[in-house]
């Protein structure tokens, strides 16, 4: 007996929760109408709006700082 209930009751609750989950997912997809199309060519770096824009700037700043430190040690 899972969770201290009988098997029939457990299976009914499992079925009801799965039905509610699937119905909720369907309702959300009907309301928001997501774009499920897949492009033929993958986007180039920097074209996606979801990329972290500050990451590239921080990476360039780190490289410049390391180069500056290396120049200071040589002199």
pLDDT digits (tens, 9 = 90+) for 30-62: 888 877 777 778 778 767 766 566 677 778 888
Q: Give the list of residues 6+ apart from residue 7 with CB closer than 8 angstroms, or none.
A: 1
Rounded to 5°, the CA angle 55-58-62 comes to: 135
Q: How many CA atoms lie within 13 A of 9 on its CB side?
A: 6
Question: Which is more confidently placed, 4 or 35?
Answer: 4
Contact status, residue 51 vs residue 45, Cβ threshold 8 Å: yes
Structural domain of 22: 2-37+45-74
Question: What's the pTM value of the predicted model, to 2 decimals?
Answer: 0.45
> How many domains does one find in the chain?
1
């Amino acid at each position: 007996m899972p969770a201290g209930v009988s098997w029939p009751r457990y299976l009914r609750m499992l079925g009801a929760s799965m039905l509610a989950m699937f119905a909720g997912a369907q309702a959300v997809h009907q309301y928001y109408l997501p774009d499920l199309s897949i492009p033929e060519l993958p986007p180039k770096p920097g074209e996606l709006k979801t990329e972290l824009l500050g990451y590239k700037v921080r990476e360039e700043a780190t490289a410049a700082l390391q180069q500056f430190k290396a120049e200071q040690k040589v002199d």
